[in-house]
Amino acid sequence: MESIGVLMTCPPFDPYLVEQLEKRFTLFKFHSIPDKAHFLNSNKASIRAVVGNASAGADAQLIHQLPNLEIVSSFSVGIDKIDLAKCRERGIRVTNTPDVLTDDVADLAIGLMLAVLRRLCPSDRYVRSGQWKRGDYKLTTKFTGKSVGIIGLGRIGLAIAKRAEAFSCPISYHTRAEKSDVKYKYYPSVVELAANCQILVVACALTEETRHIINREVINALGPKGVLINIGRGPHVDEPELVSALVEGRLGGAGLDVFQDEPNVPEELFGLENVVLLPHVGSGTMETRKEMADLVVGNLEAHFLNKPLLTPVL
């Protein structure tokens, strides 16, 4: 398989994934190529696979420029950076990395809830700056027993719910349709869900329907004591509305692992003690990233050996 060209469209930030791909294929690192148009024109015939992630995948233009593309393997569970309609039209296979990152993302969601409510980051800075010597840190807010509303009750949403239940949190949710196999309270709209919970978690896939699912109306329904947790995708949230609500005190706090235009984050959030900002690290543990890389490589190998894909999307 060494002669098969694989185009990595995302930055080659995972050394293990790069190493495993280079062992098996001819790997092209698109991110570091200065003249991309010339490169594609010269190498399009040899590229039969694309590897992307949550920030870069395969859009319609790239797919059109690769006449021999057979498979897109995403180093993420989210596939919103892949033009699925174009792939379907061309018969291009698509895979992602579900399940293996569920625990890490769910763990992080609970961590963000605790960090926001108990002010863990400002408390840490309080100690490091020597302020503790001048007096105790102010009182914070209890997490146990807070009502948690979850948008999207898939693998990750369910894992968050189970963890929150361990903290005696009542769980409610919103999905496109009510689920018959769960005991949690269902709300038919995000606004109703937000109005009836203290912590609102975004855990759904990013689609045209869920883009800006967190808007001014939802934020106002959550209110000045409510907390928003986003471990989904940045565009789930109308970011300017979120910023203004936090600055004006119309929202109680936020824990954010994702942003509209990563790695750019609104600077208005930097000075807010009730906001925790993370650099999109939901699946960012050594153990999980290795499993994700193994899935990416395993799917490519399966495809080119005419075996069933491990985690097919298309």
Per-residue pLDDT of 97-133, as tens digits, reads: 999 999 999 999 999 999 999 999 999 999 999 999 9
Distance CA 21, CA 93 (A): 18
Is residue 228 predicted with pLDDT exceeding 90?
yes
Domains and CATH numbers, the chain: 5-96+286-305 (3.40.50.720), 101-277 (3.40.50.720)
Here the tokens at position 93 are: 């296979």
Q: pLDDT for 249-294, tens place per residue?
A: 999 999 999 999 999 999 999 999 999 999 999 999 999 999 999 9
pLDDT at residue number 267: 98
**Residue % of the chain over a pLDDT of 70:** 100
Where does the pLDDT of residue 297 fall: very low under 50, low under 70, confident under 90, or very high at 90 and above?
Answer: very high
3-state secondary structure of 46: coil
In the chain, which ranges are continuous DSSP H helix? 15-24, 36-43, 60-65, 84-90, 102-117, 120-128, 155-165, 190-195, 216-222, 239-248, 286-304
Q: What is the mean pLDDT of residues 53-63?
A: 95
Q: pLDDT for 166-218, tens place per residue?
A: 999 999 999 999 999 999 999 999 999 999 999 999 999 999 999 999 999 99
3-state secondary structure of 311: coil
pLDDT at residue number 258: 98
> Catalytic residue positions?
233, 262, 280
- The pLDDT mean for the chain works out to 97
What does 52-82 look like in DSSP terms, one character per residue? E-SS--B-HHHHHH-TT--EEEESSS--TTB
- pTM score, whole prediction: 0.93
pLDDT at residue number 156: 97
Where does the pLDDT of residue 13 fall: very low under 50, low under 70, confident under 90, or very high at 90 and above?
Answer: confident
Instruction: Decide: 300 and 288 in contact? Cβ < 8 Å.
Output: no
**Residue % of the chain over a pLDDT of 90:** 97
pLDDT at residue number 139: 98
- Cβ-count burial 42-65 (b if 16+ within 10 Å, e if not): eeeeebbbbbbbbbbbbeeebbee
pLDDT at residue number 99: 94
pLDDT at residue number 2: 80
